[in-house]
Structures are given as C-alpha cells and as structure tokens.
Structure 1
Amino acid sequence: MESILQPWPWYISGPLIALIMFVLIYFGKTFGMSSNLRTFCTLAGAGKKTKFFDFNWKSQKWNLTVVLGAIIGGFIAHHYLSIPTNIDLNPKTVSELSQLGFENAGKTLLPAELYSWDSVFSIKGLTILIIGGFLVGFGTRYAGGCTSGHAITGLSSLQLPSLVAVIGFFIGGLIMIHLVFPLIFG
C-alpha cells in the first residue's frame, strides 16, 4: 500500500501532462487558473461595474471543471493518497528557516508560522495576504496569465511571451525568498 502513496514518477506524470496539453490545444482551449478568477468575478456581477468582466462566462464552463477537479483532487491526494513524511530539504535551508523562526522546517509542507488560523488572522498575516493577493493579481493581469497558464500552456505551445513571463516568475521568486522574506520574518 505504501508504494501507492508515493508521488508519480516523471515518466508517468510528464507524458500525462503533455497528453492533456495536446488535447486542450487540439480543441482550441488553454489551461490556466487565473482565467477562472475572471469567470468567478463575472458570475458575481463584476461585469456590471467593469468592462473586463463583461463577457460570456458560459464559454468557460469547461475551465470551471478544472477548478473543481483541482479542489477534489487535492482533497483526495491529501487525505487518501499521501502519508505524513518529512520533506527532504537541504540542511542549509532548514537552518536558515529555523533562524527566521520556523520551528518545523522540513517537517511539514505548510508551516504553522504561515498557515495556521492564528497566523492568518494576525495583523502581520492579514497584511501579507492583502499585499500578496494584490501583487499576485496585478502580476497575473500584467503578464496576461498565471504561472500554470504560462509555464504549462504557453511554454508547451512555444510562446515567447510565456518564456519571458516564466523567467520573470523565477526572478521574482528569487527576490522574494532571498530579499523580502528575511525582512518579513527576520
């Protein structure tokens, strides 16, 4: 049973992602999660206030099933297909995170210092969520898509703007983790 609970190897998951991308491209669809946020805003009536949200959301019903599948799949994977295990982090990373106040670095996937309800509902946690949410929303709109859309759909269809966006995502991540993160938690 334990072998079933291991992550799928690259030679199974990689071709499956490629197959899904081929099917989406064949049917003229693109994959990305940020477009679903636009659809949810349209469903909530944002199209009455802003022209960007005024579109036929029914043409995106298929993409809403991707969100539902991600939620259900994540639940199933977490509760039924995974076993608690330590994360194989570099000892230097564990040491640096410990110095920043993370008690269980390498022991849990979601550190309580960021993801517990106490942390989320603190002034610091709410500030991080609001500023981070704004930056992600702005960046996604400015880049014309999210990380999954550019990195999976854009790169697989050889789009140069997606390559530039993915490089930008990595640079932004490096800046965040090496410069901003220590300021927030140091």
Structure 2
Amino acid sequence: MDVTPYIAGAGIGILSWIAFLLSNKPLGCSTAYTRTSGMIEHIFRGKKTDEKPYYQKFAPIVDWEWMLVAGVFLGAFAVSVILGGFSLEWVPTLFGDTFGYDTGLRLVVALGGGILMGLGSRWAGGCTSGHGISGTLQLAISSWIAVIVFFVSGIVTAFLLYGVLW
C-alpha cells in the first residue's frame, strides 16, 4: 500500500488550516492562472489591461496563490525525483493505446482540456482545490455541488473517451 496519497492529504489539510489562520483566505489555484493571463496580456497591451473590470477584481500580480501553484509544480517534481518516479512522457500509455502515439494530437487534446477546465473553474467560481478542499472544508453547499459535478463529469468523460461502456 502506497502511503504517499495519505500523507499528501494530511499535508493539504494542515496547509488549509494554516492558510485560514494566517491569511483568513481559503486555498485555491484557479485565480493564479487568471492573474497569469493578466500578466501576459499586460506585456502586450500595457496599462489597458489594468482598465478591465475583470483585472481590477483579479489584479495581475504574483500573490500567495500564485506562489502556491509554483510550489505545487516544484513539490510534485521534487517528490517524483526523490521517490524515483520522474520521467518525461509526452504521450501516456493509456492515451497512446486508445488514440495513437501522435504527440501533436496529445498536445492539442491537453491544451483543449486545459482551456475547458480553466473556463469551467472560472464559471464555477473556483477549481477543485478551491471547492474540493477549501469549500467542502467550510461545508459550503455550492462547493459540495461543484465537487460532485467535477467527479461525475470526469467519470463520464473517461468512460466516453476510453470506451469503458462498450
């Protein structure tokens, strides 16, 4: 039995407590991506970006949530290297066996899925970490509904994509 997910779960729970204690804010990641898009837009459009109501609400800055996302990437990389599980895999085996090992197709599907997840998280007012960890921790009904929809949608999509039902 691999205890790593249990350790990670306990760590996320403790991190949630600390976040509420020190910042009075819940954990969440999707706003960091919104802020990043604003930073990228700012490079091309300058001060016009700051005039948008959306970026007035979600200022394009590096904040603690942005650093949390960076920490997730760095932490996942460090643990995978330490545990010996790190590898670069452009096309995962399950995807390749089902759809072929075309790297371009895999990148298009990953980009499309990422865009849809980003739109969905902004539409839902949070992502799996915001709703699934922080919202359910606070017993928010909207978060419980969002998490149920996340899981059901993921299961249905996996069944449809990988032909589990037929």
CA distance in 2 between partners of 1:180 and 1:160 (Å): 30
In structure 2, relative to structure 1, the CA distance for the partners of 1:14 and 1:75 (3 Å cut) is: closer
Aligned residues: 149
2:13 matched to 1:30?
no
Structure 1 unaligned runs (5+)? Answer: 1-5, 85-107
TM-score, normalised relative to structure 2: 0.73
Q: Which residue of 1 aligns with 2:155?
A: 174
The answer as to 2:21 corresponding to 1:18 is: no
1:36 and 1:67 in contact (8 A); partners too: yes
Letter in 2 for 1:51: P
In the aligned structure 2, how far is the partner of 1:172 from the partner of 1:28?
31
Question: How far 1:43 moved relative to its partner?
Answer: 1.6
1:87-126 alignment to 2 at 5 Å? 111-112=92-93, 114=95, 119-121=102-104, 124-126=105-107
Counterpart residue identity of residue 64, structure 1: W
The answer to whether the Cα contact below 8 Å between 1:33 and 1:149 also exists between their aligned partners in 2 is: yes
Q: Could you say if the C-alpha distance between residues 52 and 126 of structure 1 is closer, same or farther in structure 2, counting changes exceeding 3 Å?
A: same
Matched, 1:146 2:127: yes
For the structure 1 residues 168 and 77, does the alpha-carbon distance in structure 2 shift closer, same or farther, using more than 3 Å as the test? same
Q: How much does 1:37 deviate? A: 0.2
Whole-angstrom CA distance in 2 between matches of 1:180 and 1:13: 29
Q: CA deviation at 1:114?
A: 4.1
1:73 to 59, 70, 75: 75
On the 8 A contact 1:36/1:64 being kept in 2, the answer is yes
Q: 1:128 maps to which residue?
A: 109
Question: Identity over the aligned pairs, expressed in percent?
Answer: 28
- Partner of 2:79, secondary structure, is helix
Shift of 1:144: 0.8
Tell me if structure 1 keeps the 8 A contact 2:37–2:60. Answer: no
| Unpaired segments ≥5 residues, structure 2 | 43-48
**C-alpha RMSD over aligned residues:** 3.0
